[in-house]
Structures are given as structure tokens and as C-alpha cells.
Structure 1
Amino acid sequence: MPSLRFYFDKILEAAAPEVERQALTHVERLALVRRYGDFSLAYSTAVQGKLSYFGDADGYIAFGTKMKHHFALGDPVAAPARRADYIKRFVETAGSPWFVQVGEDTARVLAGL
């Protein structure tokens, strides 16, 4: 018998704003982490299961969706000069995402939004 919790999770996740997910391979994510992963959760964003990726071949924001909300894990994995753009586009697309364990630069961008 399927779990009742999974049933409700599926309903609530469907109610979240639609975010286009980037189909980055494990190898592509790790290459981006090697290049731009200068924060403590960078590696985890590339290898942790059940995450989705917003962005493009030059960078991404790792996120999960639970209970109608998108949760971004850490800072964007992208060139520092482009991180603010990734954050702004993700917030615009995802509605009111929650950012978890971010650094000061990401917090400043978010505070400005």
C-alpha cells in the first residue's frame, strides 16, 4: 500500500510554481563544483539525491520541492559575477523559494528582492 505521506507530498508538490529543471549530468555538476564551488555545501549540491537544478550549462541552483515550496540548497554554483542573476531568475520563476544555508553575498541579493 502506498504511503499516505507520499500521496500528500505529490499533491502539494504539484501545487508549487512550475520551475524549469536543467538536466545536468553528474559529471557536468561536478565540473561546475570544481570550477565555482567555493562554499561548504557545493559538493553536496552536486551529489545529493532527489535534488533538481535550475540554471544552465554555466551554473545552477540546486533545489528540492516539499509541501508547495521550493528549497534552494546553498549558494548558486556559478561564476561569482553571475550568481545574483541566477538568484533573481530563480526567485522570479519559483515564486517565494526558501534558501537554506547560504552565504552573505546570497543573503544580500535576497534582501534586495
Structure 2
Amino acid sequence: MIKPFFFHMKVKPHPENTEYSHVSGAYVNIWVIDEDSEKAKARVHDYLSHFLWLIIEERYELEPTQAQIAQLDEEEYSNYSRAVEQGISAHFDASQKNPNGNAFSVETLKPPKWN
């Protein structure tokens, strides 16, 4: 039986990633629809590697209940819904590189397209 899994990770772009020149790192929320947590986690690692993101920290993973999913905010519910349709979906909140080194902004990156 397939079910939803949620992963929250700290990542940084690989030097070959197109975001590398202006993004210092990101927190990513990833939803995966799969049979078990180990398969889901393997898919997360493959997904991030495919899009040239390096995992810095695996912060947490959950197997949320339908009641928890019903309480998601609009943005996260949209991320979850894409995973239901596509099998996996990610939302990146990125820290921008700052040449001054004393401040940064956070922006949401467009979800990568899985080919």
C-alpha cells in the first residue's frame, strides 16, 4: 500500500547546479508517495542528487496522518498534492549569497521539473 512520507532537509547546491552562483543553501520540504520509508528516503536522495543538491542535514521525516495533511497551509498542501500526482515533490526555501556576508534574503525556488 502506498502512503505519503514527508522529509525536511538542509541542502546546498552542487557547484554544477544553476543556483550555485547565488544560493548559499536551502531548506527543502519533500513529499514522496511510496510503499515504505526506506524506499521513500532513497527516492529523496536520488531526486536531490539528480537536481544537483547536496544534503547537509536530514532534519526529520514523518509519515503524516490524513488529519495532519488536512491541516497543512496552502503552500505545503500544494507541494503534497504535486507528490500525489507525480510521486514526489519538493519546495525549496533558499538563502541568497550576499557579497557583504552580513545579511541574506530567503526566496522560494521553482520546483525542479522531473524528466
- Give TM-score, length-normalised by structure 2: 0.26
- The structure that is helix-richer by fraction is 1
- The structure that is strand-richer by fraction is 2
* RCO higher in structure (CA 8 A, sep ≥6): 2
